[in-house]
Chains A and B, each alone.
Chain A
Amino acid sequence: MSRFLFVAPPLAGHVYAAGAVAAVLAERGHEVAWAGPETALRRMLGDAVTVFPTGMRPYRGQRDRGLRAVRSLWDGFVLPYARFTLPAVEKAVAAFAPDVVAVDQHALAGAVAAHRHGVRWASLAPQSMELTRPFRALPKVEEWIRRGIAGAGLSIGDGADPRFSPHLVLAFTSPALTGAHDFPAHYALVGPALGARASVPEFPWAALDPVAAASGPGSAATRTGGDAPARRAVLVTMGTLAEDVARDFYPRMVGALRALEGRVRAVVAAPPGAVPDPPPGTVVLPQVPVLELLPRLSAVVCHAGLNTVCEALAHGVPLVVAPIKHDQPVTAAQVVAAGAGVRVRFGRSGPDELAAALAAVLDEPGYAAAAGRVRDSFAAAGGAPAAASHLEQLAAHS
């Protein structure tokens, strides 16, 4: 049996994917521990996991968009977070003596600590951002990131980049989504790692299907379903980081839902105050059980965060994507190229454009068919069990 230390930033899309892999390793009898902000990790992973606490740094600049967001992500979060947590992560490596350190690409301290202690390490890429070189057209931006890493004292020996392990890079996507890229042989595209969550938010399931809830099968209410097609369930979720910037998006989205009233029944993951006057029957909740909802959904409207996109596509659900920042435009372009969704403009698309996009993915069967093809490629990629097997092989070679 081997010992695995996971190093992750306290962001849901990062921790859930790594957590699913860690859970498989633990089930197979390995020792698993985490290094990161304890409160945030426990909220997402539960109380049973072993955590070496590193403390936390606030991420300022969450309202930034575009290239300003690139600057604030690195200058305002990734680099100071790595510097701040490095001593604690080094202590965790020394105390836990892992065979392999699994390092999120935005928790660079894990790579530096592993390298200093001579431990093999793997990169976890839960985003499209650092995988397909989105800034290859802007070489000075790529260079700025590399210089920032070096300037923060986070370079590791022999010039290796702490975002990219020379041993193993695990990416939670598949070529059906990334498109054809010449990834090096030590890159493993395993598809999304979906696992049981530590806590599942409550949800008013009857609201999704009030007719069935109010009457048994074969009742008068359900028989009238023949002349009016059932309303199709749609989830609108703009990500945990987007609450501030989504404030002017929701009113336009509500306009789109009104235009489709009677045809869709929407669940909006947002603070109720942020979503003014939604059409009757709309469920607005700050937290929703996405994985439990997905089997019942016909479409997802989201910010093109890779996590949400992959969860939807793993269920064959087509998307309307409104990317806001970071890797989201890259992921949105991948969804469009795969034929599994329609891209709209987060800051500008009006109610008509949003309604047309949503109607298209609901009514034109090509989108759902393409989403189904991506779902099949994800299933073939193996998900969390495949990622766990790659980490086991790396441990066996160390």
Chain B
Amino acid sequence: MDTTVRELAGLLRDVTGEDERWGAAVTAASRLEDDLRLESVEVAALGEALRARWGVDLPAYLAGLDLDELVALTVGDIARLVSR
């Protein structure tokens, strides 16, 4: 799980263009919206990266979530998605 989170932190750095320190601060509890401030273009880019790396369908996963779950979505949730 922790290895997956670190790998996701790297992908998140790629899609945001943020630096190493930002990436190091990403944890399983980091929320995509409130903490990492991902913008919609970055979520789309993350979806592409997840498909390429693990073959998972992020848009289909997001389509199953309600508004509160989407606002609360964390890096840990994405790690569980790619690990299942």
CA distance A398 to B40 in the complex (A): 43
Contact assessment for B64 and A140 in the assembled complex, using a CB-CB cutoff below 8 Å: yes
Within 8 Å of chain A (Cβ to Cβ): is B59? Answer: yes
Residue from the list B39, B59, B66 in contact with A347, Cβ < 8 A: B39
Chain B residues 17-59 with CB under 8 Å of chain A are 17-18, 33-34, 37-42, 59
Residues of B within 8 A of A329 (CB): 39-41
CA distance A305 to B25 in the complex (A): 33
Binding site for B on A (CB under 8 A): 65-68, 70-71, 137-141, 144, 323, 329, 343, 345-348
Q: When A and B form their complex, which 8 residue pairs have the shortest distance between CB atoms, in order from nearest?
A: A140-B66, A329-B40, A66-B33, A144-B67, A347-B37, A67-B70, A68-B71, A141-B67
Output the least CB separation between A210 and chain B (Å): 37
* Residue in chain B with minimal CB distance to A68: B71
Output the least CB separation between B34 and chain A (Å): 7
Residue from the list A71, A139, A141, A343 in contact with B41, Cβ < 8 A: A343
Residues of B within 8 A of A348 (CB): 16-18, 37, 39
Residue from the list B34, B40, B64, B67 in contact with A71, Cβ < 8 A: B67
| A67-B63 in contact given A345-B39, A346-B39, A348-B39 (Cβ < 8 Å) | no
Contact assessment for A68 and B33 in the assembled complex, using a CB-CB cutoff below 8 Å: yes
Output the least CB separation between A142 and chain B (Å): 10
* Residue in chain A with minimal CB distance to B66: A140
Residues of A within 8 A of B65 (CB): 138, 140
CA distance A67 to B59 in the complex (A): 15
Contact assessment for A138 and B63 in the assembled complex, using a CB-CB cutoff below 8 Å: yes
Q: Known contacts A66-B71, A346-B39; can you find 11 more A-B pairs with CB under 8 A?
A: A65-B33, A66-B33, A71-B68, A71-B71, A137-B62, A141-B70, A345-B39, A345-B41, A345-B42, A347-B39, A348-B39
CA distance A345 to B16 in the complex (A): 9
* Residue in chain B with minimal CB distance to A134: B40
CA distance A391 to B28 in the complex (A): 54
Residues of B within 8 A of A343 (CB): 41
CA distance A346 to B40 in the complex (A): 11
CA distance A37 to B40 in the complex (A): 34
Residues of B within 8 A of A140 (CB): 63-67
Question: What are 23 A-B residue pairs whose CB atoms fall within 8 Å in the complex?
Answer: A65-B33, A65-B37, A68-B33, A68-B71, A70-B67, A71-B67, A71-B68, A71-B71, A138-B62, A138-B63, A138-B65, A138-B70, A139-B63, A140-B64, A141-B70, A144-B66, A323-B39, A329-B39, A329-B40, A329-B41, A343-B41, A346-B39, A347-B39
CA distance A324 to B16 in the complex (A): 16
CA distance A323 to B40 in the complex (A): 9
Residues of B within 8 A of A138 (CB): 62-63, 65, 70
Contact assessment for A141 and B66 in the assembled complex, using a CB-CB cutoff below 8 Å: yes
* Residue in chain B with minimal CB distance to A347: B37
CA distance A140 to B73 in the complex (A): 15
Residues of A within 8 A of B66 (CB): 140-141, 144
CA distance A301 to B35 in the complex (A): 26
Output the least CB separation between A63 and chain B (Å): 11
Contact assessment for A68 and B63 in the assembled complex, using a CB-CB cutoff below 8 Å: no
CA distance A119 to B74 in the complex (A): 48
CA distance A329 to B67 in the complex (A): 18
| A137-B70 in contact given A65-B37, A345-B41, A348-B18 (Cβ < 8 Å) | no
Residues of A within 8 A of B63 (CB): 137-140
CA distance A346 to B16 in the complex (A): 12
